[in-house]
Chains A and B, each alone.
Chain A
Amino acid sequence: MKKVLVIDDNPTIVELIKYAVNLQSAFQVIVAYDGEEGLKSVYAENPDCVIIDVKMPRMDGYKLVRCLRGDTRTANIPLIILSAMTREEDQMTGLLSGVDEYLTKPFKPGALNAAIERVLLLTPADRQRRMDYLLQTHAERE
């Protein structure tokens, strides 16, 4: 059974995510309620996918993503940000940090499940291509 780690400081949102991800597929859902606890859980549980909130105590979601992407042991774990921060700049910060998908709250269970299916299929080469694309976009904007 695939293992999904949910990192969000709001227990109600966590329950909604747990309900949503088990609507279509059977996942083992594990939970952490802040960034540091989430980081520890990644190393302890080795999840197949991580769903991360942005605004959290102790370590925000962007930093958590960068921390995971900066270590070869965790650089290719599928990562999804699920955040109430909806501005384009927020999404760009998430993508530049290295997240695979950026979803906003409120979310539809179908959209979350589709995102999980997409990120589970990504390869390291796919991530490298995305990084190259972001760099190209970055160069054009400078």
Chain B
Amino acid sequence: MVHELLRLRRLHILLVDDDSGACNRIQQALGSDFHLYHAQSLIEARQHLVEYVPDIVICEVQLGKESGLELCRFIRNIPTLHYLPIMLLTSLTTLQDKIAGFDAGADDYVVKPYDARHLMARIRLLTRMKNLEQQDE
């Protein structure tokens, strides 16, 4: 029963990254406190969001020929997903990249390589913050 409750309290993350190893690396970095779902394309990500809304979306910007920014815009255009936190976790580091990310609707922008403890903290803080925003309106 306790384990069941703990499982229910774990945050559900939709990770969108075309790198098949990214999911394993992030799962290892985050440990067992998070449920990680992996989508390797925008189609997979959208399908997942239709079926189940996670606590947070973590998305790479460069998805082969696709762009994670398209997913940001998709999410922000759907009223029921308005408060879904989006973190861009990417190796793109220029000012223009960051500005484009926030313009597309991202809430946070974390540059790779990431520190596991820092990433975990930012995921939890971001979900908490978006909950506050939602309660506020």
A93-B109 contact, Cβ under 8 Å, with A39-B98, A43-B95, A71-B93: no
A134-B111 contact, Cβ under 8 Å, with A39-B98, A67-B102: no
For A66, list chain B residues within 8 Å (CB).
Answer: 107-109, 126
Task: Tell me which residues from 55 to 79 in chain A have a Cβ below 8 Å from any Cβ of chain B.
Answer: 59, 63, 66-67, 69-73, 75
Contact between chains at A134 and B102 (CB < 8 Å): no
A138-B109 contact, Cβ under 8 Å, with A39-B98, A39-B99: no
Cross-chain contact of A89 among B9, B93, B121, B132 (Cβ < 8 A): B132
Contact between chains at A67 and B121 (CB < 8 Å): no
Min CB–CB distance B29 → chain A (angstroms): 15
Query: Range of interface residues on chain A?
Result: 20 to 34
Contact between chains at A138 and B111 (CB < 8 Å): no
A141 vs B128: C-alpha distance in the bound complex, in angstroms? 9
B51 adjacent to chain A (CB < 8 Å): no
A43 vs B132: C-alpha distance in the bound complex, in angstroms? 30
Min CB–CB distance A40 → chain B (angstroms): 6
A101 adjacent to chain B (CB < 8 Å): no
A128 vs B135: C-alpha distance in the bound complex, in angstroms? 27
A37 vs B10: C-alpha distance in the bound complex, in angstroms? 38
Closest to B108 in A: A66
B82 adjacent to chain A (CB < 8 Å): no
For A67, list chain B residues within 8 Å (CB).
Answer: 98, 102, 108-109
Contact between chains at A138 and B107 (CB < 8 Å): no
For B109, list chain A residues within 8 Å (CB).
Answer: 66-67, 70-71
Task: Tell me which residues from 52 to 92 in chain B have a Cβ below 8 Å from any Cβ of chain A.
Answer: none
Min CB–CB distance B30 → chain A (angstroms): 13
A75 vs B117: C-alpha distance in the bound complex, in angstroms? 14
Cross-chain contact of B128 among A39, A72, A73, A138 (Cβ < 8 A): A138
For B7, list chain A residues within 8 Å (CB).
Answer: none
Contact between chains at A138 and B125 (CB < 8 Å): yes
Cross-chain contact of B129 among A43, A69, A96 (Cβ < 8 A): A96
Contact between chains at A93 and B99 (CB < 8 Å): no
Min CB–CB distance B6 → chain A (angstroms): 12
Q: Which 8 A-B pairs have the closest CB atoms?
A: A70-B110, A96-B129, A71-B111, A96-B125, A138-B128, A131-B121, A66-B108, A70-B109
A-B CB contact pairs (8 Å), 6 listed: A66-B107, A67-B109, A70-B122, A96-B126, A96-B129, A135-B121
Please give the residue numbers on chain A whose beta carbons come within 8 Å of chain B beta carbons, in ascending order.
36, 39-40, 43, 59, 63, 66-67, 69-73, 75, 89, 92-93, 96-98, 128, 131-132, 134-135, 138-139, 141-142
